[in-house]
A and B are shown apart, each in its own frame.
Chain A
Amino acid sequence: MTSDRRHATLILAAVAIVAGLAGAAAGIGEPLLADQGTNVGKLFAMNTAGGLLTIGVGTLALASGLLRKPVLEALAGLGFLAAAGLTLLGVGRSFNYLGGRGNTLCLFLMLGIGLVALALSPQVRADEA
């Protein structure tokens, strides 16, 4: 993992952890699995479970960047893509376990696709470039 890629991973991990903390904090006092999560500004919505999951997977992404482990990075990316799938299936329905909306789907997609792209894209050595 090059240092540029590591920085990008750490930025995505930080975005995830901050979003998760904001989502979990906004959901305090609401049911853990409320099917309509609380809005965080006008950016996204999630319930406490969604916030905790985002913090957990974001921490995995953070560990992948700190330890320079692309496998962990890919796993974190797949975790966010699974969250995006769960949100797409659940939004507007009673089994919306993460309390997300369309914009939460966008957030999870961004984190998942970004981490998977960083983990799987071929690397170029400096002498090849």
Chain B
Amino acid sequence: MDIGLVNEEARAIRVDGALPRAAIAGVRILVGLLWLSNLSWKTPPDFRTLERFTQWGVDRPVFAPFSAVIERVILPHMAFFGYVTLITEASLGAFLLLGLATRFWAVVGMIMTATIALTVINAPHEWSWAYYMMFAAHAALWASAAGRCFGLDGLLRAGWIRSDLAPIRLLGRAS
């Protein structure tokens, strides 16, 4: 008996069943709702609440170089970075809920989670494991290409990867 083949068989993961696919889609939708529901307090034009949270990155620094960036670049231009945050998080919610270009947006979610964690993880009453789990959830969405389970990626990807247009083929890679 070929031990290599036996091990390969033992390591194989079956995700083609309806239940595993529904679980993957469920995680994707939950993460999308997480971004959507946390947008209510990011209010232009002054983003006052967001600014208060961002200030924790200076008052209780997590990583000194990033703290310096917050103090010298982000806080003096809060309106601009507030809009960047609002648009990025709204897009994260929208694309993850749809399951569209999911692997790309899962990577954006990991970057965004790391940025938030580096800002507020030392703030009072923050539970640091929430950010580790949030990062892990996005990593799982990326690894499982979660938009192919009950998402638009699964529905549209075949057309994207066969397209003559490079930007459309790119969508295939992002999914």
Q: Indicate whether A106 sits within 8 Å of B36 (C-beta atoms), given known contacts A122-B163, A122-B168.
A: yes
Q: Indicate whether A92 sits within 8 Å of B44 (C-beta atoms), given known contacts A105-B90, A113-B98.
A: yes
> B35: CB under 8 A from chain A?
yes
| Chain A: interface size category | 20 to 34
Q: Indicate whether A109 sits within 8 Å of B100 (C-beta atoms), given known contacts A121-B159, A122-B168.
A: no
Q: Does A128 lie within 8 Å of B162, measured CB to CB?
A: yes
A21–B153 CA distance with the chains assembled, in angstroms: 28
Q: Does B36 lie within 8 Å of A101, measured CB to CB?
A: no
Q: Does B97 lie within 8 Å of A122, measured CB to CB?
A: no
Of the candidates A43, A101, A122, the one having the most CB atoms from chain B within 10 angstroms of its own CB is: A122
Closest Cβ neighbor of A122 among chain B residues: B159
Question: In the assembled complex, which residues on chain A have CB atoms less than 8 Å from the CB atom of B156?
Answer: 117-118, 121
B153 to chain A, nearest CB (A): 10
Q: Does A42 lie within 8 Å of B90, measured CB to CB?
A: no
Q: Indicate whether A114 sits within 8 Å of B90 (C-beta atoms), given known contacts A103-B40, A106-B35, A124-B159.
A: no
> A93: CB under 8 A from chain B?
yes
Question: In the assembled complex, which residues on chain B have CB atoms less than 8 Å from the CB atom of A31?
Answer: none
Closest Cβ neighbor of A42 among chain B residues: B37
Q: Indicate whether A122 sits within 8 Å of B100 (C-beta atoms), given known contacts A91-B43, A106-B94, A110-B94.
A: no
Known: A91-B44, A110-B95. 6 other contacts (CB 8 A): A88-B87, A93-B44, A105-B39, A106-B36, A118-B152, A121-B168
List 26 A-B residue pairs with CB atoms under 8 Å apart, sorted by A's residue number: A42-B40, A43-B33, A43-B36, A45-B40, A91-B43, A91-B44, A92-B46, A101-B40, A102-B41, A102-B89, A102-B90, A103-B36, A103-B39, A103-B93, A105-B90, A106-B35, A106-B39, A107-B36, A109-B94, A110-B93, A113-B95, A113-B100, A114-B94, A114-B152, A117-B98, A123-B159
